[in-house]
Homo-oligomer: A and B are copies of this chain.
Amino acid sequence: MDAAALRSEFPVLERTAYLNAGTCGPLPRAAADAARATLATGEADGRAGGYFTSMIAARDEQRQAYASLLGVDPGEVALTSCTSEGIVRVLAGLDLGRGDEILTSDQEHPGLLGPLSGAIAQRGVTVRMAPFAELAEAVGPQTRLVACSHVSWVDGELAPAALGELDVPVLLDGAQGVGAVATRPADLGCTFYAGSGQKWLCGAVGTGMLWIHPAWTDRVAAPGPTYQNLAEPARGLASDVRADAARHDSPALSPEGAAASLASFGVLAAAGWESVLARAAALAGSLAGRLSERGFEVAPRGETTLVSFRVEDPPAVRTRLAEAGVVVRDLPGRPWIRASVGAWNDESDLERLLDAL
């Protein structure tokens, strides 16, 4: 599938320069069709029988799809509703308390800071912040966990590679990572990787994943195992939790969402993940260069898919761009407009943004 063929899978791109996958990816036609088909089955035949068995099958396929992208075993992947849910499960499940420190960075999203505030309030954990680029060196004797972005949501910087060399476990917030850049935990050297389904994987809102290093499966308690998480639900109180990461599956994921997400994954996988990642990185780099040429201050960034640049009054600029059919976002309290560039975009989208500025 060439770039134009991939682009044609996304109806929103017919009218809009959609550059906001960092919030929600563009939804492929195939994904909407899959959700519609699941809905139609439930509506006409009832949501038992085929609807139910298809849901179970879709969950398995979704888990396998995510695992294939991460280069891990499907048994190491939990299906969550979002990145934050995965983060909460790790923070709540680890045996951390008073005297233990979690190290985080100054670039984090409320989706990580919220769960960290819970760990402080409820368990007396200490949270210390260090500059994102200096995290590895900032690890101290009380540090029991490093929890930070894989890719900064602010400006697209990458977590320092040195984090992969630490003895301390590392939880990466992969909201802006998975589907956007290379995310094999074996290469990153992390212990936990929490990702989103609805952003760079273009799946449904309410989907996500949590990868847990197999050596840590038994060290992350499931805060409350529900039906999906039990090895033998019919045994009730006597049932163990599932032996694999599925003990952390979200209790009730949407079947329509699973079908859509699987279809979205299929569209991107058919284009080839390597070329999807390379194309997005190249386009984002091209945008950063052209913005600089035009005199915009581009925020420091890695080889990622986010491009943030300084404007006066970002909310007003975002609104003006939206009226011109260009969808980007501003970042509350920061001076940047953030453009998210994916393999589905092309130079015409970048031109529209530059023209509208």
Which residues on B sit within 8 Å (CB–CB) of A40?
32
Q: Which of B15, B20, B108, B254 contacts A206 (CB 8 A)?
A: B254
A121 at the B interface (CB under 8 A): yes
* Bound form: Cα–Cα A204–B15 in Å: 31
* Bound form: Cα–Cα A119–B222 in Å: 10
Q: Which of B39, B44, B206, B234 contacts A252 (CB 8 A)?
A: B206
Tell whether, in the assembled complex, residue A227 and residue B39 are in contact, meaning their CB atoms are under 8 Å apart.
no
Q: Which of B31, B108, B224, B329 contacts A236 (CB 8 A)?
A: B108
Which residues on B sit within 8 Å (CB–CB) of A329?
48
User: Which A residues, 42 to 72, have Cβ-Cβ distances below 8 Å to chain B?
Assistant: 42-49, 51-52, 55
Q: How many copies does the complex hold?
A: 2
A23 at the B interface (CB under 8 A): yes
Contact size range, A: 35 or more
Tell whether, in the assembled complex, residue A115 and residue B45 are in contact, meaning their CB atoms are under 8 Å apart.
no
A114 at the B interface (CB under 8 A): yes
Q: Which of B27, B114, B225 contacts A229 (CB 8 A)?
A: B114
Among the listed stretches A84-92, A182-190, A278-286, A301-309, which one makes contact with chain B, having 4 or more residues with CB under 8 Å of it? A84-92
Q: Given contacts A12-B45, A20-B48, A198-B47, is CB(A84)–CB(B226) below 8 Å?
A: yes
A332 at the B interface (CB under 8 A): yes
Closest approach, in angstroms, between the C-beta of A225 and any C-beta of chain B? Answer: 5
A336 at the B interface (CB under 8 A): no
Question: Chain A: residues with CB nearer than 8 A to chain B?
Answer: 11-12, 15-16, 18, 20, 23-27, 29, 31-32, 35-36, 39-40, 42-49, 51-52, 55, 81-82, 84-85, 87-89, 91-92, 108, 110-111, 113-122, 127, 198, 204-206, 208, 221-227, 229-230, 233-234, 236-239, 250-257, 322, 327, 329, 332-333
